[in-house]
Amino acid sequence: MTRFALSSSPDTASGRRRRATIRATDLALLAGVAALVACAGPQSALDPAGRGAERIAELFWWMTAGTVVVWAAVMALAFYVSTRRREPGPRAPGVLIVGGGVVLPVLVLTALLIWGLALLPSLLAGVDAEPTLFVTGRQFWWEVVYRTSDGRVVPLANELRLPVGRPAVLQLDSHDVIHSLWIPALAGKVDMIPGRVTRLTLEPSRTGVFRGLCAEYCGLSHAHMAFVVAVTEEHEFAEWLAHQAEPASAPASPLAARGQELLLAHGCGACHTIRGTLADGDVGPDLTHVGGRLSIAAGTLSSDPRAFQRWIEAPEQVKPGVHMPAFAMLPQADREALAAYLEGLK
C-alpha cells in the first residue's frame, strides 16, 4: 500500500523528502520481514515449535543482542584508541584493562552462566521418565518403535508423529555408528551412541510438519539421513497410532497384487517387514504402512510411485552407501508393480 501511494506522489521537494522518510521506515519493515523469513523454515532452530527450542531461541536472541553490543563496543574502542587526538591520562590504561578486560566481562559472564545453569535442568527434565518412543539410529535411517499406553509395541521407520502440547520421552540408541537426532524446530540434539542409551524430551507447542536430521557425521550418506516429524492434534495422533498398529492392508488393485507377489518372490522380505504378510526381515525399515508416510528413504524422497520406482531401481544413486541392493535388473513393469504395491500400503 505504501509503495502504491509513493509512486503517485508528485515529484516535488517535499515529496522527495517524504519519499525518503517512507523509504527508511519501509526498509526497517523490510529488514524485519527479511529477518523473519530468514529464520523461518522446516528445520530452523529460530522458528521454534517446541518448548525446548523456544527456551533456547530466547537464550539465543539475548546472547546475540549482547554479542552485537559487545562487538560494536570493542570495535568502537579500537577505532578510538588508534585515532585519538587527546593525550590520555596516566590512569587510562589501568581503567581500560581492569574495567574492560575484567570487571565488565566478569559481570556479564556470571549473569550468563547463571542463566545457562538455571536453564539446564529443565532441558534435561524427563530424562528419568518412562519413554514411550524408541529410536535407533542405523546407517542411514531411523528405526522407530512406539509403545502405546496399553503396552502394545508398534514398529515403524523414518517418521515421527507427535501430539501437540504433550511431552514425549524418546529413548535413543544406535545399531552401528554414532548418530545424533536433531529436530531443530522442536529441541536440541542428542547423540545416539552404540552401547549407550540416551534420552530426549520433545514437547511440541504447535502443529505442523518439520524436518529432523542426523547431526553427527555417520558415514557416506550422512547427508541423506533425515526424517519427517508431523505434529498433530491429540485425537489425530491417536487415530494415526491405532492405524499404524494394524497389519498392512491388502493390495487394492491387480497391479498392486502383482507387486506384492514380486516383493515376496524377490526376497524383499529377508530385510523388510510388512506386518500381515510373509515379509519379516529386520535389516531394513518396516514397510507395513510405508505408503502413508510423508517421505521415503529417510527423508530423501517424497512418497509417490515415481519415487518408489526410482528407489527400487537405483538406491545407490539416491543414497550412496545404502545397504539395499539395486533392482534395476527387473523389467520396468515389475518395478512399477512393486511401486504401486508399496505406495498403496497406506
C-alpha cell at position 34:
527479511
Closest CB to another protein among 228 and 248?
Answer: 228
**β-sheet bridge partners, residue 173:** 136
Q: How far is the CB of 220 from another protein (least distance, A)?
A: 5
CA nearest neighbour of 215 among 149, 102, 137: 137
What are the strands of the beta sheet with 179-182, ordered from one edge? 159-163, 226-232, 208-214, 179-182, 190-192
Q: How far is the CB of 125 from another protein (least distance, A)?
A: 7
d(CA 310, CA 328): 9
Q: How far is the CB of 242 from another protein (least distance, A)?
A: 30
Long-range contacts (CB closer than 8 Å, 24 or more residues apart) made by 192-195? 192/135, 192/136, 192/137, 192/216
| Secondary structure (3-state) at 143 | strand
- DSSP string across 238-299: HHHHHHHHSPPPPP-SHHHHHHHHHHHHTTGGGT-B-TTSS-B-SSS---TTGGGSS-BTTT
d(CA 285, CA 158): 8
d(CA 199, CA 273): 26
d(CA 112, CA 238): 41
Peptide bond before residue 308 is cis, with ω within 30 degrees of 0: no
Q: How far is the CB of 324 from another protein (least distance, A)?
A: 16
Q: How far is the CB of 160 from another protein (least distance, A)?
A: 16
Closest CB to another protein among 30 and 102?
Answer: 102
At 280, give phi and psi (nearest 5°).
-140, 30
CA nearest neighbour of 315 among 337, 306, 268, 323: 323
Closest CB to another protein among 47 and 143?
Answer: 47
Q: How far is the CB of 80 from another protein (least distance, A)?
A: 8
Q: How far is the CB of 208 from another protein (least distance, A)?
A: 14
Closest CB to another protein among 98 and 242?
Answer: 98
Q: How far is the CB of 325 from another protein (least distance, A)?
A: 18
d(CA 172, CA 191): 8
Residue 206 Cα to chain centre, angstroms: 15
Closest CB to another protein among 185 and 274?
Answer: 185
Q: How far is the CB of 196 from another protein (least distance, A)?
A: 7
Closest CB to another protein among 180 and 244?
Answer: 180
Closest CB to another protein among 59 and 326?
Answer: 59
d(CA 192, CA 181): 7
